[in-house]
């Protein structure tokens, strides 16, 4: 493939019809809690609640009725992941083990029950971030009260759910929503593509955890985010390589955008507005171009974790780059190994005459 075709594939963008609707819902749900808390001088709690509100990003292509029935299951997953992250965040070995379990379990559930993007990404992000925030200060954590964290994340989960379901109280919305296809059942599917994707993810998750342990990285969640976003969508090797490039480039561009905040870091309602705008862009692009989506979600995640603190933002940016590179390398190793194995398989099954040059 020529350089021009690769470049076109990286930036190709075909927006889905009506993508602005779920993008608007997401912006309202994620920016809502910080706006309310900011009014009472507790913006940092609102930013923590925004992690729970990220459930609004799931099942965005489904009807409100279907999302009303299924999002509570995802919400429980968010809270379970948060509790696991908090319970194990004070120890590197237990944190690495717990994060690997969270990543594997949520990847399996996402694949087999057709949850769709963003899949296991945000449960892993939430578990890792909350674990870091509640870990003792002596171990590099934030020392925040675990019960407070769980409470505000749960509040964010409820907020995200209400934003999706509340409009059904309007007759016009109910009538329009009734015309959409909806299925309240969770359908289990374990096809060949799912098997291949899950096998690669599991191997990559194990390698990512081992790499994090050897490098002493306490923020394995960020490494896993890179691995999952590259490998979780489908089993095609070329598309996997394309997503890897999009992930690395998108994250790099996102960090460049975040550099603006080193000159001017938004505060109060300005920070809320910036986070809301970045979430809107992420959801708008997520199904059409991973690079653009990650370019916007990266500074959003950095702002949420930093909570408006310049020192925390500086530290988050440097570690974000390192973690993404480590995750990208792990995903590249797995994709390369799969490609080599396939070539060996083709040669092994080649006709005898063909292998002898006949």
pLDDT, position 354: 44
Q: What is the mean pLDDT of residues 56-64?
A: 86
CA distance 63 to 51: 23
Structure tokens that stand for 224 in this block: 């896993």
Provide the CA 260 distance to its chain's centre, in angstroms. 23
Task: Give residue for tokens 């979780």.
Answer: 232
- Provide the percentage of residues in the chain whose pLDDT is more than 90: 28
For residue 358, name the pLDDT band (cuts at 50, 70, 90). Answer: very low
In a domain, residue 26? The reply is yes
* Domain span at 60: 19-175+189-350
Question: Cα(294)–Cα(143) distance, rounded to whole angstroms?
Answer: 29
Instruction: Tell whether 355 is covered by a domain.
Output: no
The answer on pLDDT for 44 being more than 80 is yes
Average pLDDT, the chain: 83
Decide if 182 is inside a domain.
no
Q: Which two tokens stand for residue 352?
A: 């005898």
- Encode pLDDT of 252-287 as tens digits: 788 788 778 777 778 889 889 999 999 998 888 877
- Count the alpha carbons within 13 Å of 182 in the hemisphere toward its beta carbon: 17
Residue 273: its pLDDT value, please?
A: 92
Given a cut of 70, whether residue 325 has pLDDT beyond it is yes
Q: Mean per-residue pLDDT for 141-166? A: 91
Number of domains in the chain: 1
Least confident of 4-8, 24-28, 349-353: 349-353
Calculate ∠ Cα 10-16-20, nearest 5°: 110
CA–CA gap between residue 170 and residue 172 (Å, rounded): 6
Tokens of 118: 């963003």
Q: Are 271 and 3 in contact (CB under 8 A)?
A: no
End-to-end CA distance of the chain: 29
Q: Residue 83, exposed/middle/buried by CB under 10 A (0-12, 13-18, 19+)?
A: middle
In a domain, 292, yes or no: yes
Q: What is the pLDDT of residues 167-208, one digit of tens each?
A: 999 999 999 998 888 888 888 888 888 888 899 999 999 999
More reliable by pLDDT, 81 or 251: 81
Percent of the chain with pLDDT over 70: 88
Dig out the tokens for 258 from the structure.
């975040």
- The reply to whether 14 falls in a domain is no
Rounded distance between C-alpha atoms, residue 8 and residue 12, angstroms: 6
Q: How many whole angstroms from its chain centre is CA 310?
A: 23
Does residue 331 surpass a pLDDT of 80? yes
pLDDT digits 0-9 by tens, 201-235 = 999 999 998 988 888 776 788 888 888 877 877 66
Identify the pLDDT of residue 357: 36
Is residue 161 predicted with pLDDT exceeding 90?
yes
Tell me phi and psi for residue 218, to 5 degrees. -85, -5
* Whether pLDDT at 355 is above 50: no
State both tokens at 164: 């999706």
Residue 12 in any domain: the answer is no
The whole-number pLDDT of residue 152 equals 94
Give the pLDDT of residue 72.
94
Does 71 score more than 90 pLDDT?
yes
Whether the predicted model's global pTM rises above the 0.85 cut: no
**163 backbone dihedrals φ, ψ, rounded to 5°:** -60, -35
Asked whether the predicted pLDDT for residue 349 surpasses 60, the reply is no
Tell whether 114 is covered by a domain.
yes
Q: What is the 3-state secondary structure (H, E, C) of the chain?
A: CCHHHHHHHHHCCCCCCCCHHHHHHHHHHHHHHHHHHHHCCCHHHHHHHHHHHHHHHCCCCCCHHHHHHHHHHHHHHHHHHHHHHHHHCCCHHHHHHHHHHHHHHHHHHHHHCCCCCCCCHHHHHHHHHHHHHHCCHHHCCCCCCHHHHHHHHHHHHHHHHHHHHHHHHCHHHHHHHHCCCCCCCCCCCCCHHHHHHHHHHHHHHHHHHHHHHHHCCCCHHHHHHHHHHHHCCCCCHHHHHHHHHHHHHHHHHHHHHHHHHHHCCCCHHHHHHHHHHHHHHHHHHCCCCHHHHHHHHHHHHHHHHHCCCHHHHHHHHHHHHHHHHHHHHHHHHHHHHHHHHHHHHHHHCCCHHHHCCC
Per-residue pLDDT tens over the stretch 99-140: 889 999 999 999 899 887 788 888 888 888 888 888 887 776
Residue 10 lies in a domain: no
């Amino acid at each position: 493939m020529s350089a021009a075709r690769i470049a076109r594939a990286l930036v190709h963008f075909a927006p889905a019809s009506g993508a602005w609707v779920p993008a608007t819902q997401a912006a309202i749900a994620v920016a809502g809690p910080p706006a309310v808390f900011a009014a009472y001088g507790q913006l940092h709690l609102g930013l923590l609640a925004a992690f729970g509100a990220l459930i609004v990003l799931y099942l965005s292509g489904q009807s409100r009725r279907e999302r009303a029935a299924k999002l509570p299951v995802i919400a429980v997953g968010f809270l379970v992941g948060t509790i696991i992250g908090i319970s194990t965040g004070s120890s590197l070995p237990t944190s690495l083990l717990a994060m690997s379990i969270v990543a594997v379990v949520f990847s399996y559930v996402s694949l087999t029950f057709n949850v769709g993007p963003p899949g296991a990404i945000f449960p892993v992000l939430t578990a890792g971030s909350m674990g870091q925030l509640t870990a003792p200060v002596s171990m590099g954590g934030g020392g925040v009260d675990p019960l407070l964290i769980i409470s505000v994340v749960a509040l964010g989960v409820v907020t995200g759910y209400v934003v999706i379901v509340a409009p059904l109280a309007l007759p016009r919305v109910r009538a329009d929503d009734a015309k959409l296809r909806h299925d309240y059942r969770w359908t289990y599917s374990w096809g060949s593509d799912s098997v291949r994707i899950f096998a690669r993810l599991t191997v990559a998750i194990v390698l990512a955890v081992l790499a994090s342990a050897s490098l002493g990285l306490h923020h394995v969640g960020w490494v896993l985010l890179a691995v999952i976003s590259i490998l979780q969508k489908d089993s095609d090797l070329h598309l996997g390589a394309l997503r890897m490039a999009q992930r690395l480039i998108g994250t790099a561009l996102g960090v460049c955008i975040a550099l603006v905040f080193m000159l001017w870091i938004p505060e109060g309602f300005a920070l809320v507005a910036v986070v809301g705008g970045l979430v809107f862009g992420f959801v708008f692009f997520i199904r059409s171009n991973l690079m653009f989506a990650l370019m916007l979600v990266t500074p959003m995640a950095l702002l949420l974790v930093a909570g408006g603190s310049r020192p925390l933002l500086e530290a988050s940016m440097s570690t974000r780059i390192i973690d993404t590179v480590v995750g990208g390398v792990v995903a590249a190793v797995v994709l390369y190994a799969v490609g080599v194995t396939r070539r060996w398989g083709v040669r092994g099954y080649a006709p005898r005459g063909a292998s002898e040059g006949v």
